[in-house]
Structure 1
Amino acid sequence: MVNPYNDSELGKKQQVAEMFNSIAPKYDFLNHWLSFGIDKLWRKKAVKLLKPFKPKDILDVATGTGDFALEAMKLNPNHIIGMDISEGMMNIAAAKIEKLHLNDTISFEVGDSEDMRFETSSIDAITVGFGVRNFEHLEKGLSEFHRVLKSGGVACVLEFSKPRVFPIKQLYNFYSYYILPLWGRLISKDTRAYTYLPESVSAFPDGEDFIKVMKKVGFNSVKEYRLTFGIATIYFATK
């Protein structure tokens, strides 16, 4: 298991919360700048895949600063709940929602993806952007997704993946292990956050390996959509 802080005695969940609380003020700037804004296009693609299902009650897990929840407003839902273990990130998300006067539709709460408070078969769609690789117990978290979704409900997981084609693979690895951590440290002042990112991507079971885990917990249909030469992937699963 890859943890944000190797010298910490805290569990992975607590370390992840601590890390995101630390970088929260600079997160949006770094996220969009270091990805050249492509992350916004990835979320748009994910929401387009959700559109035919017309979900009304949406749960955005690992909501962070709320970008996926805001993009999901294009689906005209009744309610979006953004859940995260980092209060620092959600404070920034809440400020965005307040500014856009969307408090009646989007709400935020601290929550653990592996032990969610929601009733079984109560949610139309679950979204999660760049969050599942931070789960302490991946299978347990995905089992919770399956439990809370209604029959016919969908889970839309957007996550980083590993490019496999030359020279994209080599360029991506160089950028991830040398350029990204350098700028991340300089701007966020957290010496580990942007080193942990490529390490966690490398350790994550992407592609067919991730699909196998989703099917193992009960999803009977899982499709993958590889994006931007395989730098990211959308996993789209139905219950």
Structure 2
Amino acid sequence: MYALSEKGERIRAMFGSIAPRYDFLNRLLSLGIDRRWRRFAVGKIGVSGSGKVLDVATGTGDVALEIASQTAPSLEIVGIDFCKEMVDLGKVKVAGSRFAGRISLQVAPCEDIPFPDQTFDAATISFGIRNVVDRPAGLAEMHRVLKGGGRVVILEFSTPTLPVFKQLYHFYFLKVLPKIGGMFSRMSAYQYLPDSVLEFPSRDEFKGMMSQVGFQNVQHFDLTGGIATVYLGVKKAS
């Protein structure tokens, strides 16, 4: 079994501690905009009809459910996450949905995806790649399990490019968000969030990382003034 680094274990434990409030705080702190970002990202997976899609860092299953809502009933969705507490909550959510028969969730890290080569027609990861300690390994694993011609769609927080908007964003992200998060959950977790976003590679650096593991036609789409970014890459057709 894959052994997380000390940093990875700390991150996993942090997410486990905030799991019960995770969905509520996502809606509150993003003013509900995160739903629109997920819909946009899922719209880029490019799978129609039957097939199999992997949702990495699935958390409580929001993206897996969104994939099911946008795709044919014959499409199967598999979600993995390194945090058992998140997966347990996701299983309850999925079981109570109309998509229960199409979605399965299990505990596994991005750096060690427990499926054979060329299993999936597409792969997604939303707000999770910045929490992957060994990002090149995680990206390489997603590339490995994709079929030739399959897409990876990555949704992640970004730093806005417009100066005035960037200043307002940093004030909210660094000063306001941790305090609101701390009212309902662990403040340290919501101090980690802005720190992890600010430490994340630039758009061009991250696209370069995707290209280095084999993804082609790598591009990005900024959302809501650059607060979030969707990255898209394609595995070379066999």
Which TM bucket (shorter chain)?
over 0.9
Who is 1:59 aligned against?
54
Who is 1:99 aligned against?
96
In the aligned structure 2, how far is the partner of 1:51 from the partner of 1:212? 22
Secondary structure of the structure 2 residue equivalent to 1:82: strand
Who is 1:212 aligned against?
208
Q: Does 1:186 align with 2:191?
A: no
In the aligned structure 1, how far is the partner of 2:38 from the partner of 2:100? 21
Q: Does 1:112 align with 2:84?
A: no
Maintained 8 Å contact 1:162/1:169: yes
Who is 1:222 aligned against?
218
Aligned positions of 1:1-239 closer than 5 A: 11-51=6-46, 56-73=51-68, 74-76=70-72, 77-188=74-185, 190-239=186-235
When the two structures are superposed, what TM-score results if normalisation uses the length of structure 2? Answer: 0.93
5+ residue gaps, structure 1: 1-9
> For 1:115-154, what per-residue CA distance to the aligned partner results, in whole angstroms no more than 9, with x for missing partners?
1111111111101110000001011110111111000000
> For 1:68-105, what per-residue CA distance to the aligned partner results, in whole angstroms no more than 9, with x for missing partners?
00000111252111100111111111111111143321
Q: Please provide the CA RMSD for this pair.
A: 1.3
Distance 1:141 1:83, change over 3 A: same
Aligned residues: 229
Secondary structure of the structure 2 residue equivalent to 1:204: coil
In the aligned structure 2, how far is the partner of 1:191 from the partner of 1:33? 15
In the aligned structure 1, how far is the partner of 2:34 from the partner of 2:201? 20
In the aligned structure 2, how far is the partner of 1:172 from the partner of 1:93? 30
In the aligned structure 2, how far is the partner of 1:52 from the partner of 1:89? 26
In the aligned structure 1, how far is the partner of 2:233 from the partner of 2:174? 31
Who is 1:4 aligned against?
none
In the aligned structure 2, how far is the partner of 1:163 from the partner of 1:54? 36
Maintained 8 Å contact 2:46/2:151: no
Amino acid at match of 2:141: E
Shift of 1:13: 1.7
In the aligned structure 2, how far is the partner of 1:88 from the partner of 1:101? 22
5+ residue gaps, structure 2: none
Q: Determine what percentage of the aligned residue pairs are the same residue.
A: 43
Maintained 8 Å contact 1:47/1:75: no
In the aligned structure 2, how far is the partner of 1:101 from the partner of 1:45? 21
Distance 1:55 1:224, change over 3 A: farther
Amino acid at match of 1:222: V
Amino acid at match of 1:60: D
Who is 1:6 aligned against?
none
Shift of 1:54: 5.2
> For 1:141-179, what per-residue CA distance to the aligned partner results, in whole angstroms no more than 9, with x for missing partners?
101111110000000000001112121100000000010
Distance 1:172 1:114, change over 3 A: same
